[in-house]
Amino acid sequence: MPARDMLRNALLLQIEAGADEAIAEAPVDRFAQRPPSPAPAAPAPAAAARPAPPAAARPAPTPVRVTRPAAPAALVTAETALGAARAAALAAPTLADLRAAVEAFEGCQLKETATHTVFADGAEGAPAMFVGEAPGADEDRIGKPFVGVSGQLLDRMIATIGLSRSLNAYITNILFWRPPGNREPSSEEIALCLPFVMRHIELARPKVLVFLGGPSAKTLLGRAEGITRLRGRWQDFRTQGMLERGEPPIAAMAMFHPAYLLRTPGAKREAWRDLMAIRARLAEAGALG
C-alpha cells in the first residue's frame, strides 16, 4: 500500500475514534513557562495583648441563622435543561417547528462536539416510522440518519417490503447528536432528547412504529429486557400526551439494528420475519400500494 494511503487511513481512524486535536512534534516544558513564585511575605508583628473587657461591657452574642444548603449547580442545570426541552417540544405544532426547536436547543452537551444536528430523513406523514439510537460519523458529517453502511442495509431491507425514504418511510434516532467517538450515550443525554422524540412520534403519527436496536426499544417502551426478547412482538405505544388526549395507540415492534445484522449475519432470518410482520400490518392498515 502506498505511504500516502497508509497515512490517509491512519487519519481516518483517528477521526472515527473522536480525536479532534493534534499533538505537537516537540514536547513543551510547562514548568519552564510558569512565572516565578512570589517571595513569601514577612510575618506581621504580633499585636499587643489587650485585657478582656469586663462582663458588663461585653457585646451580646450574635444569633446564628441556619440556612438550607443550595442544590448543586450541576443538578440545577440538568433540571433546568430538561424543563426547557419539555417546554420547547410541547410548543412545537408541526414537524418543521420541532426541527427548529431541536436545532436551537442548547441544553445537551453532545451538541457542542457534533458537526450537525441529525433530526430525521424520509417522507413526512409516512405510514412507517423507524427509530434508531444515535448518529454515527457519516450521519454527523452529512446531517441525516442512517446514511452509512448500516443505513444502506436498512434501505435494502425496507425496500423488500415496498418502503422507501422518498415515498413511505420516515427515519430518526432517540439522539439528535453524535456521542464523541461513538461512545455509549449517558442516561442524562437520552433524557434530554426524549421529550423531543416523544413529540416527534406524536407529530409524525405513523401507522407502524419500528424500534431499531435495544437502546431505542428499551428507552421508548420503558422495558428492561434485551432486544432478543423484545423483537418480533407487537406492542401498543402511546406517549403521555396521546394518553391524556385519549388517542389510540400506535402498533410498535422492535427489531435488530442493521449494524448488528452486519456483525451477525445469522440474525437476518429473524429480521426477515420481522419485516414480513411489518409488511402485513401495513397492508392491513391499507398503507401499502
More confident residue, 194 or 31: 194
Q: Does domain 75-284 have CATH number 3.40.470.10?
A: yes
Q: Output the CA–CA distances (angstroms, integers) from residue 186 to 49, 192, 194, 259, in the order listed.
A: 60, 10, 12, 20
Q: Which ranges of the chain would DSSP assign to H, the alpha helix?
A: 3-16, 73-90, 95-104, 110-113, 137-142, 149-159, 187-204, 214-221, 227-230, 240-244, 258-263, 268-284
Q: Give the span between the Cα atoms of 251 and 207, in whole angstroms.
A: 7
Does 43 score more than 70 pLDDT?
A: no
Lowest-confidence segment of 63-72, 221-230, 242-251, 279-288 by average pLDDT: 63-72
Categorize the per-residue pLDDT at 21 as very low, low, confident or very high, splitting at 50, 70 and 90: low
Its pTM stands at 0.75
**For residue 259, what pLDDT band results from cuts at 50, 70 and 90?**
very high
What gap in Å lies between CA 118 and CA 105, rounded to an integer? 13
Residue corresponding to grid cell 408541526: 94
Encode pLDDT of 80-92 as tens digits.
999 999 999 999 9
**Rounded distance, CA 105 to CA 176, Å?**
11
pLDDT for the residue 65: 57
d(C-alpha 258, C-alpha 155), whole Å:
10
Contacts of 63 (CB under 8 A, 6+ apart): none
